[in-house]
Amino acid sequence: MKKLFYFLLFCCVSTSWMNAQETKSIIDELNTYYPGKGRVTIYEDEAIKGIVGRPITPQLPVYTEPGGVSYVKMRGYKIQAFAGNDQRTSKNEAYRKQALINQAFPELETVIIFESPFWRLRVGNFKTREEAEEVLNEMRQAFPSFGKEMYIVPDEIKVPIDQSADY
């Protein structure tokens, strides 16, 4: 048992030590001379050297709501609480369910979308599917009458600026 512990400790320490080593860029690796192999020489501008190997962080446009809340739009998940194409009843049904959901879950944003001939009600702005699943389960418990027609859909979501720092 002691040997197993020391072996696992050694594996963890050696793995973290290997990750701590400085990584070379592809340009430095190609310029390195290895005996018995060909030689590659790359001449580059310093500006290129600073860019190569860095992860690209996209600059997302910032939007501001009338209340002064700034947010970015990105891919995420929403809960589709209603979808219907009956010309006579779907619009009223979407607004009725929106009022019920807003009353039970005031912290969640609800959006009614009309794409002819469909009326859809989408709820929330979730970065991960797991977050959406948790809220979906709560909504199904709160609304068992129409819980079976609710499901998670990928969609464009709004993320407040202070929460989007990790993206």
All structural domains of the chain with their residue ranges: 2-51, 62-166
Give the pLDDT score at 140: 96
Burial class (CB in 10 A: 0-12, 13-18, 19+), 78: buried
Give the pLDDT score at 68: 81
Give the pLDDT score at 105: 97
Q: 156 φ, ψ to 5°?
A: -80, 130
SS3 per residue for 93-157: HHHHHHHHHHHHCCCCCEEEEEECCEEEEEEEEECCHHHHHHHHHHHHHHCCCCHHHCEEEEEEE
Give the pLDDT score at 164: 45
Residue with tokens 């989007």: 164
Indicate the CATH number of 62-166 among 3.40.50.2300, 3.30.70.1070, 3.40.50.2000, 3.40.50.1000: 3.30.70.1070
pLDDT at position 64 over 60 = yes
- Cα dihedral 85/91/94/96 (nearest 10): -140
* Strand 110-115 relative to strand 151-160, pairing: unpaired
Which residue type, as a one-letter code, is found at position 152? Answer: I
Residues 73, 60 contacting (CB under 8 angstroms): yes
Confidence of residue 18 (pLDDT cuts 50, 70, 90): low
Give the angle subtended at the CA of 70 by the CAs of 78 and 109, to the nearest 5°.
30
Q: Around Cβ 96, how many Cβ atoms within 10 Å?
A: 13
DSSP designation for 19: H
Over range 13-39, report the average pLDDT.
70
pLDDT at position 42 over 50 = yes
